[in-house]
Chains A and B, each alone.
Chain A
């Protein structure tokens, strides 16, 4: 069965650079969530989208932005990267409006040097 696809899986950037992470949800899932997980920490909610509209916002820095496209894939754009942005970034998808099970991608590991 198709799963949530994230790319790239690994990314190394310098401070003050920009990075873009992509997420392709499971087919027919219309809701995407982005989480950030630092080493040894629980996943922190960043932002979510439902039917291509931003639905909720968590602890996402102003330097980050995201959107969901017409094919339901989502992109997380990160600018002016800081050392503290180094983390695993997970995307998860579900069918909106139902609080159903979240299905997670394999994650994108960002390292900022």
Chain B
């Protein structure tokens, strides 16, 4: 069974600091997605990583994918309070017999940035 694990599960950090969230998965997948979720809200797409070595950056967030290590990272640079949210990675293993894909979400990392 595919497992997608994130660490840490909870992260409290000071504004201005850097930190990395890790997403490990247990099966072959050549694409990975990062989402942000504010409390009680929908999931907002942050990054789409489609190949080994892919790196995407948006503002203070940078995501990378290493398909050989089955690892993705979400790096936060100089955190600000507005980044406080829960971050999920989602992995897409191979297609089902019906030709569609199952998106498996990680456990989530709840980030709190302290002013």
When the two chains form their complex, are residues B102 and A102 in contact, meaning their CB atoms are under 8 A apart? no
When the two chains form their complex, are residues B99 and A50 in contact, meaning their CB atoms are under 8 A apart? yes
When the two chains form their complex, are residues B107 and A42 in contact, meaning their CB atoms are under 8 A apart? yes
The answer, yes or no, to whether B43 is at the interface (CB within 8 Å) is yes
Residues of A within 8 A of B106 (CB): 42
When the two chains form their complex, are residues B99 and A99 in contact, meaning their CB atoms are under 8 A apart? no
Identify which of residues 50-109 in chain B touch chain A, using a CB-to-CB cut-off of 8 Å: 88, 90, 92, 95-96, 98-108
How many chain B residues touch A (Cβ–Cβ < 8 Å)? 26
The total of Cβ contacts below 8 Å across the A-B interface reads 64
The answer, yes or no, to whether B25 is at the interface (CB within 8 Å) is no
Residues of A within 8 A of B99 (CB): 50, 55, 96-97
The answer, yes or no, to whether A31 is at the interface (CB within 8 Å) is yes
Q: Which of B41, B42, B48, B100 neighbours the largest number of chain A CB atoms within 10 Å of its CB? A: B100
Residues of A within 8 A of B95 (CB): 97, 99
Identify which of residues 31-73 in chain A touch chain B, using a CB-to-CB cut-off of 8 Å: 31, 33, 35, 41-43, 45, 48, 50, 53, 55-56, 58
Q: Which of A45, A88, A97, A104 contacts B40 (CB 8 A)?
A: A88
Q: Which residues of A contact B (CB under 8 A)?
A: 31, 33, 35, 41-43, 45, 48, 50, 53, 55-56, 58, 88, 90, 92, 96-97, 99, 101-107, 109
Q: Which residues of B contact A (CB under 8 A)?
A: 31, 33, 35, 40-45, 48, 88, 90, 92, 95-96, 98-108
